[in-house]
C-alpha cells in the first residue's frame, strides 16, 4: 500500500500562542514537508487547491513544480484540481511543465470541489456545476492523448488542430478522480479513472459500499478488476501515545474546523472521530496502523494519503508525524 501526505496550506493561528504564519513562511513549510517526505521514503505528496485568504495555495501546479525542484523520487499530485472552473488547456500546460521539472513524477486529481467560491471568482455559474466538469474532463483526456487536438464544446472556444505543448515526460499525465457521490463514482469507473475517496465523516461502511460500487461498474465496462485503483485521503495525526492525540491535538483540530462548527469543535465530536470507528486517522502509531488497515480492508484501497499539517501546529510536530508515518506505520500496512 502506498502511503503519503497532503496539504492545503491552511493559514491558521496557533491556538496556544495566537501566532499566525505569513504566507511565505507557510509556503516554506510546505516545501520542507515535501523534502522530508521524500527523504524518509513516503510515496506521494499532494497539494490541495483553495482560493481564500485562509490558505496559501491556489496555484497548485506552481507549488508542485517548486516541490519537484527540491525532491528526487516522491510522486507529486494535486489534491484536488477544480477542473470545472479551470481551462483544461492551461491546466495541461501547467502540470506538464511541473512534470518536466520533476522528471516524470506528477499526477493530477480532478474534483468538482466541496467549496464553491471558485465559481464566482472565475465567472462561472453554479447551475453548470456538473456539465462544466464533464465537458472539461473529456477535453483534458484528448489533450493528454495527442499533441494536436481538434475539439468543440459549450464552455470554451473550439480548438482546430491546436498544438498542445509542452508534453510531459510521462506518456500521459496520470489522472485520478475525486468523488463521493454515487454518480461521480460511476463516472470515474465508466471512464476508467482511478478513484480518490476523501474520508472526512460518515462511516467506514459507507465508503466500503462506494468502493464496491466503483469496482462493480469498473468490471461491467470489461476492465480487469486488478486494474481498479482506489486512494483514501483523510485527516491524519500520529503521536507516540494515544494520550497525546486525545489531549494535545484537539486545540489544533478545533481551530482548523472552527468555520464548519461556527465555533469550537464539541469535544464529544472529536472523541467520536478519534474513536476506533471514527474517520479521523489519529492516535498512537498502533492506533493509526489499525485505522489505516481497517480502511484498506473496507475499501481495498491501494493508497492512503493523510493531511498532517492541520490547524497551525508547530512544524516540529508535523515533521515528527511524517517521520512516524514513514518509519513505523509504513512497515505495518504494506
The domains of the chain are located at 9-313
Q: What's the confidence (pLDDT) of residue 114?
A: 65
DSSP string, 116-179: -THHHHHT--GGGHHHHHHHHHHHHHHHHH-SEEEE--SSS--EEEEE--SPPSSSS--EEEE-
Euclidean distance between CA atoms 162 and 334, whole angstroms: 44
Tell the residue number behind the cell numbers 481538434, with chain if given.
150
Residue 217: how many other CB atoms lie within 10 Å:
18
Euclidean distance between CA atoms 43 and 54, whole angstroms: 28
3-class DSSP assignment, residue 195: strand
Give burial (CB, 10 Å; 0-12/13-18/19+) of 170. Answer: middle
DSSP single-letter state for residue 227: G
Give burial (CB, 10 Å; 0-12/13-18/19+) of 96. Answer: buried
Euclidean distance between CA atoms 84 and 122, whole angstroms: 10
Are the C-beta atoms of residues 217 and 200 closer than 8 Å to each other? no
DSSP single-letter state for residue 265: P
Euclidean distance between CA atoms 278 and 273, whole angstroms: 4
Q: What angle do CA 288, 292, 297 make, to 5 degrees?
A: 145
Q: What's the confidence (pLDDT) of residue 247?
A: 84
Tens place of pLDDT for every residue, the chain, 334 residues? 999 999 999 999 999 999 999 999 999 999 999 999 999 999 999 999 999 899 999 999 999 999 999 999 999 999 999 999 999 999 999 999 999 999 999 999 998 766 677 788 878 787 888 899 999 999 999 999 999 999 999 999 999 999 999 999 999 999 999 998 999 999 999 999 999 999 988 889 999 999 999 999 999 999 999 999 999 999 999 999 888 888 899 999 999 899 889 899 999 999 999 999 899 999 999 999 999 999 999 999 999 999 999 999 999 999 999 999 999 999 998 7
Please name the fold of domain 9-313.
Answer: TIM Barrel (3.20.20)
Amino acid at each position: 500500500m502506498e502511503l503519503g501526505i497532503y496539504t492545503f496550506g491552511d493559514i491558521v493561528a496557533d491556538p496556544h500562542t495566537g501566532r499566525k504564519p505569513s504566507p511565505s513562511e507557510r509556503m516554506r513549510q510546505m516545501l520542507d514537508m515535501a523534502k522530508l517526505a521524500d527523504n524518509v521514503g513516503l510515496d506521494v505528496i499532494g497539494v490541495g487547491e483553495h482560493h481564500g485568504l485562509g490558505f496559501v495555495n491556489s496555484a497548485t501546479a506552481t507549488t508542485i513544480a517548486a516541490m519537484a525542484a527540491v525532491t528526487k523520487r516522491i510522486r507529486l499530485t494535486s489534491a484536488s484540481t477544480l477542473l470545472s472552473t479551470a481551462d483544461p488547456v492551461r491546466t495541461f500546460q501547467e502540470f506538464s511543465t511541473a512534470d518536466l521539472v520533476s522528471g516524470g513524477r506528477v499526477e493530477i486529481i480532478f474534483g468538482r470541489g466541496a467549496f464553491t467560491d471558485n465559481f464566482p471568482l472565475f465567472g462561472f455559474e453554479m447551475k453548470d456545476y456538473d456539465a462544466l466538469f464533464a465537458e472539461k474532463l473529456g477535453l483534458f483526456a484528448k489533450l493528454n492523448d495527442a499533441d494536436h487536438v481538434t475539439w468543440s464544446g459549450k464552455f470554451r472556444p473550439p480548438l482546430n488542430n491546436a498544438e498542445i505543448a509542452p508534453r510531459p515526460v510521462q506518456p500521459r499525465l496520470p489522472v485520478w478522480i475525486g468523488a463521493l457521490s454515487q454518480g461521480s463514482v460511476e463516472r470515474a469507473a465508466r471512464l476508467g479513472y482511478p478513484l480518490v475517496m476523501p474520508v472526512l465523516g460518515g462511516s467506514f461502511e459507507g465508503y466500503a459500499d462506494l468502493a464496491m460500487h466503483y469496482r462493480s461498474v469498473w468490471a461491467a465496462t470489461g476492465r480487469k478488476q486488478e486494474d481498479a485503483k482506489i486512494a483514501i485521503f483523510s485527516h491524519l495525526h500520529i503521536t507516540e501515545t494515544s494520550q497525546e492525540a486525545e489531549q494535545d491535538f484537539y486545540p489544533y483540530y478545533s481551530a482548523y474546523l472552527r468555520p464548519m462548527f461556527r465555533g469550537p469543535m464539541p469535544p464529544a465530536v472529536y472523541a467520536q472521530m478519534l474513536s476506533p470507528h471514527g474517520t479521523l486517522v489519529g492516535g498512537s502509531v498502533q492506533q493509526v496502523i489499525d485505522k489505516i488497515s481497517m480502511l484498506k480492508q473496507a475499501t481495498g484501497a491501494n493508497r492512503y494519503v493523510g493531511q498532517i499539517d492541520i490547524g497551525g501546529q508547530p512544524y516540529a510536530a508535523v515533521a515528527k508525524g511524517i517521520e512516524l508515518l514513514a518509519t513505523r506505520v509504513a512497515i505495518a500496512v504494506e
